[in-house]
Structure 1
Amino acid sequence: MEIENPSNPTQTSAPVPQFPALSAVEATGGVEKRKIIIPPHRLNPLKERWLEIYTPLVEQLMLQVKVNQAKKTITLRTSPQTTETGALQKGADFVQAFILGFEVRDALALLRVDDLYIDSFTIQDVKDLHGDHLSRAIGRIAGRDGAVKYAIENATKTRIVLADNHIHILGSFTHIGMARNAICSLILGSPPSQVYGRLQGTAAAANQRF
């Protein structure tokens, strides 16, 4: 048996073999599926924007997609053409973001950027409010014509959806934390001007660190 001598400059090592990438089906040993429930109030928006949702799932992530209107579900599954092992989770996060109320253009960021997440909570998770107190808290978060919500989004580089007493925030981990702190302060009764002033200082400090 011939043994390679590293001190011999005339002897060259064997070339590193190159193997084609495994498909997601081959890598996981079988077809994977995700089933997402469509709330009744999001069924019509889904139909209206379906082509914008379907196209990246099939052409970019190489997933198979099936909609069951009777059961109000969307099923995603890997195919032999799916090469990215995280494609199914990305596709499910993208669809779920739209179901929660985010615009398609904002939800698409989940397919392009790896460190984006969605954080969801309710106003009652912060303070037990009901009736007029709950309505006033929602009003402080939104502001007139959505001005406060837009200001928080711009300062923290996030996207926010207000759905009754549910709040969904799309962004990076750090930016979600800033937006959530601002929203919690509003829920607890802080005036929007005061919250926005603190938020601008926090956002400026975060931008200097990064």
Structure 2
Amino acid sequence: MESSSAAVTTTTAAAMEVDATANPPRQPSVQFAQKPNFRPLKAHEISGGQIQFRKVSVPPHRYTPLKKAWLEIYTPIYEEMKIDIRMNLKARRVELKTRPDTPEVGNLQKCADFAHAFMLGFDVIDAVAMLRMDELYVESFEIKDVKTLKGEHLSRAIGRLSGKGGRTKFAIENSTRTRIVIADTKIHILGSFANIKVARDSLCSLILGSPAAKVYSKLRAVSARLAERL
């Protein structure tokens, strides 16, 4: 009796396995919701309908260059970025504000950075790249932040930064894909984060007294590594 019951149990289990393989249980279908597609909010919508302003001061030595290059500055800001711009002659500053058709609220800050870069001494052709690329910014420092120099020592340091006919400065710019402005004892660098770091290290080496030939050799190695990353 026991053997017969065991055989019946084995036969029943085998039949259940056959039925399970022949007719597997149906899995409930899972439907995923589609990703919502929202239109980008405009500047006046993000700020609750209020107009946002930015003001950029104009140094005395950049007032004449600003008048000459005004159309080159006005056209991309007004037509491409959809930002209103005007020159306040009494306060000697450039004023920017958003419009109802400004596509993004970040355009206002980009235009302010573009105008500020021009006031620091960069050409319009170089500074306008800040409107079209997000990873560009300006870093500024002074020679005394690296080393305290006075008199002729300071003059020689500035000469080492520029080089004969500006060769050293141009070499650093071309190797690191940056733009450098040397205004008295202040240095301004325009570029991406990694490129600015390389250019700043080279300029600091020159300030500390390294010869230009040694800085050139380091730049070749660093520029080769940067090219490999790209």
1:181 corresponds, among 201, 204, 207, to 201
**How large is the Cα RMSD of the aligned pairs?**
2.0
- Which of residues 87, 105, 123 is equivalent to 1:103? 123
Residue aligning to 1:190: 210
Query: What TM-score, normalized to structure 1?
Result: 0.90
**In structure 1, what is the equivalent of residue 54 of structure 2?**
34
Listed one character per residue, the Cα deviations across residues 79-110 of structure 1 (whole Å, up to 9, x for unaligned) are: 10101121011000100110000000000110
Residue 4 (structure 1) aligns with? none
> 1:115-160 CA distances to partner (integer Å, 9 max, x unpaired)?
1111100001101111111110010000011000000000101000
Partner of 1:65: 85
Q: Distance in 1 between matches of 2:168 and 2:32?
A: 64
1:163-182 map, 5 Å? 163-182=183-202
| Closer/same/farther in 2, CA of residues 152 and 25 from structure 1, 3 Å limit | same
1:67 deviates by: 1.0
Where does 1:48-197 land on structure 2 (aligned, <5 Å)?
48-197=68-217
What runs of 5+ residues in structure 1 fail to find an aligned partner?
1-6
Deviation (angstroms), 1:185: 0.3
d(CA) in 1 for partners of 2:193, 2:40:
31
**Largest Rg, 1 or 2:** 2
| Separation of aligned partners in 2, 1:126 and 1:61 | 38
Name the one with the larger helix percent: 2
- CA shift, 1:20, in A, is 4.6
CA-CA distance at 1:22 after TM superposition:
2.7
Structure 2 unaligned blocks of 5 or more: 1-27
Alignment-mate amino acid for residue 155 of structure 1: S
Identity among equivalent positions (%) equals: 51
Does the C-alpha gap of structure 1 residues 25 and 188 become closer, same or farther in structure 2, counting only changes over 3 Å?
same
Q: TM (normalized to structure 2)?
A: 0.83
Question: Aligned equivalents of 1:8 and 1:142: distance in 2?
Answer: 70
